[in-house]
């Protein structure tokens, strides 16, 4: 098939890039548990317009986060929801509100925002500084984290870094990590879907491509979980961060061009 052939209204090159991006993002998520949107978007933006790339991420983000939330069991879901409801409410409101205006934002602004989000994610992971939030300030800081996630996620769909940093700062234990991430990330994906349906970016053609993109994402997650035995997670993490750093610099360069 020629790369110029049309599939769902998109070129073969664009569809191929989406499938490869979601496969790589799924592998990253399967090994380290995060980074599906960051890896997926960074690769997709090599050939796709920013708004199309962001809209294509919406359904894979939703289904993978819902799966993660359900994997923690009902008790874990309820506990996480009771603890983090201020974070979740502000995240829902801010993601939906910002996403309504995403269609009118210049492509360069989206590229810059995503580039700096990825750079922030890399810096957060290589830095030895780990934020800490006491129980007294957990809910007020959660409100701020929810707003920050919405400002970034509504425009780029990559709302995970502020949420991840907050969950680390409040000291979520390892045995509750999946439930906490699943609930907070899963709740954030619902207003993202609603907002991109409302702003017109998630058209039927884009939604179809986004749904198809779930297949390589799940294949990648399956591969990643099995690669954990062949590659040490820390080794993969270093390679991933190096690749994300280079892609983030490219996004910033394109945004400033």
Domain count, the chain: 1
SS (H, E, C) 91-154: HHHHHHHHHHCHHHCCHHHHHHHHHHHHHHHHHHHHCCCCCCCCHHHHHHHHHHHHHHHHHHHH
The answer to whether residue 3 sits within a structural domain is no
The answer to whether residue 241 sits within a structural domain is yes
Q: What is the reported pTM?
A: 0.84
pLDDT computed for residue 1 by the predictor: 46
Q: Do the Cβ atoms of 181 and 167 come closer than 8 Å?
A: yes
Question: For residue 30, what are its two tokens?
Answer: 């399967």
Least trusted range by pLDDT, from 6-10, 99-103, 165-169, 176-180: 6-10
pLDDT computed for residue 24 by the predictor: 93
The answer to whether residue 27 sits within a structural domain is yes
Q: How many residues does the chain have?
A: 257
The answer to whether residue 13 sits within a structural domain is yes
The answer to whether residue 2 sits within a structural domain is no
The answer to whether residue 138 sits within a structural domain is yes
pLDDT computed for residue 3 by the predictor: 46
More confidently predicted of 33 and 105: 105
Digit-coded pLDDT (tens) for 131-187: 789 989 999 999 999 999 999 889 888 888 889 889 988 988 877 877 888 889 888
The answer to whether residue 28 sits within a structural domain is yes
Q: Which residue pairs, CB below 8 angstroms and at least 24 apart, start in 137-144?
A: 138/83, 138/170, 139/86, 139/87, 140/86, 141/166, 141/169, 141/170, 142/84, 142/86, 142/87, 142/90, 142/166, 142/170, 143/86, 143/87, 143/90
pLDDT computed for residue 72 by the predictor: 66
Digit-coded pLDDT (tens) for 176-223: 877 888 889 888 999 999 999 999 999 999 999 999 999 999 999 888
Average pLDDT of 106-124?
Answer: 87
Q: Do the Cβ atoms of 188 and 149 come closer than 8 Å?
A: yes
The answer to whether residue 1 sits within a structural domain is no
Full residue range of the structural domain in which residue 166 is found: 8-256
């Amino acid at each position: 098939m020629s790369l110029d052939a049309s599939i769902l209204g998109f070129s073969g090159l664009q569809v191929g890039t989406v499938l490869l991006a979601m496969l790589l993002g799924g592998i990253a998520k399967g090994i380290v548990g995060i980074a599906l949107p960051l890896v997926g978007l960074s690769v997709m933006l090599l050939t796709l317009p920013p708004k199309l790339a962001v809209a294509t991420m919406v359904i894979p983000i939703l289904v993978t986060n819902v799966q993660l939330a359900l994997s923690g069991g009902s008790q874990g879901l309820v506990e996480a929801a009771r603890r983090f409801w201020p974070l979740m409410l502000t995240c829902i409101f801010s993601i939906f509100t910002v996403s309504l205006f995403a269609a009118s934002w210049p492509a360069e602004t989206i590229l810059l925002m995503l580039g700096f989000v990825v750079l922030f994610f890399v810096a957060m992971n290589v830095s030895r500084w780990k934020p800490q939030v006491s129980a007294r300030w957990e809910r007020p800081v959660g409100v701020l984290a929810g707003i920050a996630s919405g400002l970034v996620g509504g425009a780029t769909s990559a709302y995970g870094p502020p949420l991840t940093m907050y969950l680390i700062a409040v000291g979520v234990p390892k045995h509750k990590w999946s439930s906490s991430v699943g609930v907070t990330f899963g709740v954030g994906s619902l207003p993202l879907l609603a907002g991109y349906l409302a702003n017109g970016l998630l058209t039927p053609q884009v939604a179809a491509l986004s749904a198809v993109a779930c297949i390589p994402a799940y294949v990648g997650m399956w591969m990643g979980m099995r690669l954990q035995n062949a590659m040490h997670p820390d080794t993969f993490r270093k390679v991933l961060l190096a690749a994300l750093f280079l892609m983030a610099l490219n996004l910033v360069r394109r945004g400033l061009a």
